[in-house]
Amino acid sequence: MSEDKFISIEGISKRFPAAAGGLTTVFEDLWLSMRRGDFTCIIGHSGCGKTTVLNILAGLDASSEGTVIVDNQAIEGPSLDRAVIFQSHALLPWRSVMGNVAYAVSSKWRRWTKSEVERQSQKFIDLVGLTGAEDKRPAELSGGMKQRVGIARALSIEPKILLMDEPFSALDALTRGTLQDEVRRICVETGQTVFMITHDVDEAIYLADRIVLMTNGPGAVFAEIVDNPLPKERKRTDVHKHPLYYGVRNHIIDFLVSRSKAFAAEIEGRGYDRRRVPVVRPGAPEPVIAADTSMSGPSLSDLKQELIRGRA
Partner 1 sequence: MRGEGLRMTRSLTFRATLLSIAIFALFVTVWQLATMGSGPTVPMDPEYAKLVGATASQGKSAMPGPLDVWLKVWEHLKNPFYDRGTNDKGLGIQLAWSIARVMAGYLLAVAVAIPTGFLIGMSPLMSRALDPFIQVLKPISPLAWMPLALYTIKDSGLSSIFVIFICSLWPMLINTAFGVAAVRKEWLNVARTLEVGTFRRAFTIILPAAAPTILTGMRISIGIAWLVIVAAEMLVGGTGIGYFVWNEWNNLSITNVITAILVIGIVGMILDQLLARATRLVTFPE
Residues that bind partner 1 (CB under 8 A): 58-60, 77-80, 82-84, 86, 88, 90, 92-94, 103-104, 107-108, 137-139, 157
Separation between Cα atoms, residue 197 and residue 57, nearest integer Å:
12
Please say which residue, 99 or 177, places its beta carbon nearer to partner 1.
99
Separation between Cα atoms, residue 71 and residue 78, nearest integer Å:
15
Nearest distance from C-beta of residue 139 to partner 1, angstroms:
4
User: What secondary structure, in 3-state letters, does 106-165 show?
Assistant: HHHCCCCCHHHHHHHHHHHHHHCCCCCCCCCCHHHCCHHHHHHHHHHHHHHCCCCEEEEE
CB atoms inside a 10 Å sphere around CB 191: 9
**Peptide bond before 218: cis, by omega within 30 degrees of 0?**
yes
Nearest distance from C-beta of residue 118 to partner 1, angstroms:
17
Nearest distance from C-beta of residue 165 to partner 1, angstroms:
11
Nearest distance from C-beta of residue 95 to partner 1, angstroms:
8
The β-bridge partners of 222 are: 214
Can you list the alpha helix ranges (DSSP code H) found in 168-301?
173-190, 201-207, 245-254, 260-267
Nearest distance from C-beta of residue 32 to partner 1, angstroms:
21
Please say which residue, 159 or 310, places its beta carbon nearer to partner 1.
159
Nearest distance from C-beta of residue 19 to partner 1, angstroms:
22
Please say which residue, 90 or 295, places its beta carbon nearer to partner 1.
90
Separation between Cα atoms, residue 278 and residue 240, nearest integer Å:
25
Please say which residue, 161 or 187, places its beta carbon nearer to partner 1.
161
The answer to whether the beta carbons of residues 68 and 129 sit under 8 Å apart is no
Q: Taking the mean position of all CA atoms in its chain, how far away is CA 143?
A: 21
Please say which residue, 83 or 221, places its beta carbon nearer to partner 1.
83
Please say which residue, 77 or 285, places its beta carbon nearer to partner 1.
77
